[in-house]
Structure 1
Amino acid sequence: MSNIGGFFSNVVSEMRKVSWPKRKELTRYTVIVLTTVIFMAVFFAIVDTGISSLFRWFLSI
Structure 2
Amino acid sequence: MGFFKGVFHEMRLVEWPTGKELMRYTGIVLGTILLAAIFLGVVDFAASKAFAWFLGL
- Please list every run of at least 4 consecutive aligned residues from structure 1 whose deviation after the TM superposition is greater than 6 angstroms: none
The unaligned stretches of length 5 or more in structure 1 are none
- Give the equivalent residue in structure 2 for 1:47: 43
RMSD (CA atoms): 1.1
* Greater Cα radius of gyration, structure 1 or 2: 1
2:22 to 19, 23, 26: 26
Matches of 2:32 and 2:4 in 1, distance apart? 36
Matches of 2:2 and 2:39 in 1, distance apart? 49
- C-alpha distance after superposition, 1:2-61 (max 9, x if no partner): xxx111110111000000000000000000000000010011000110010001001017
| Residues matched between the structures, number | 57
Aligned-residue identity in percent: 51
The unaligned stretches of length 5 or more in structure 2 are none
- Give the equivalent residue in structure 2 for 1:6: 2
Q: Give the structure-1-normalised TM-score.
A: 0.89
